[in-house]
């Protein structure tokens, strides 16, 4: 039950942060990322110490390669791209980008680990892509009318 509450809490915090990013004065994305990552690192370190986890530095090269990938592309890169999307789209539409993460994960897993991709994954991926199109990309008639009347209007 605690893990479900933690997942719900993180989703609520993420949604609130997306709304705040659009409303607060602009901050350079690298600065915002650095502050967020530093706070998260301190929180994770404190949580690991409270849980009695042993703190060890990885020894294997493959582990370091995974850490470098996750830090650069999986964290900083995705965060910067998300901020770019938030600046150009409404927060509710930008949230659809995170639905695409499992599709990228499955594709990378199939490529790197030779994981099989079955019919269920293909159908599920098509449904997700269809949902993202309808929810985030398809311009409704009302939105296109409003955009034609007000050139400053966003989707």
Among the ranges given (24-28, 117-121, 125-129, 147-151), the one the predictor scored with the smallest mean pLDDT: 147-151
Which pLDDT value is given to residue 140? 57
Q: Indicate the pTM of the whole model.
A: 0.62
Contact 79, 33 (CB under 8 A): yes
Q: pLDDT tens-digit profile of 93-107?
A: 877 777 777 888 888
Rounded-to-integer distance, Cα 10 and Cα 18, Å: 12
Distance of CA 12 to the CA centre of its chain: 14
Which pLDDT value is given to residue 144? 52
Contact 131, 100 (CB under 8 A): no
Q: pLDDT tens-digit profile of 49-75?
A: 999 999 889 999 999 999 998 889 888
Structure token digits, residue 146 = 């409003």
């Amino acid at each position: 039950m605690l893990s479900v509450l933690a997942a719900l809490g993180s989703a609520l915090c993420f949604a609130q942060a997306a709304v705040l990013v659009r409303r607060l004065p602009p901050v350079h994305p690298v600065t915002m990322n650095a502050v967020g990552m530093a706070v998260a690192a301190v929180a994770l370190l404190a949580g690991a110490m409270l849980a009695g986890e042993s703190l060890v530095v990885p020894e294997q090269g493959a582990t370091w390669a995974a850490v470098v990938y996750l830090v650069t592309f999986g964290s900083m890169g995705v965060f910067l791209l998300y901020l770019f999307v938030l600046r150009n789209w409404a927060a509710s539409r930008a949230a659809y980008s995170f639905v695409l993460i499992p599709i990228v994960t499955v594709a990378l897993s199939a490529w790197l680990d030779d994981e099989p991709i079955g019919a269920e994954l293909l159908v599920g991926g098509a449904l997700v892509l269809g949902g993202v199109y309808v929810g985030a990309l398809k311009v409704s008639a009302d939105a296109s009318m409003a955009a034609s009347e007000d050139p400053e209007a966003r989707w």
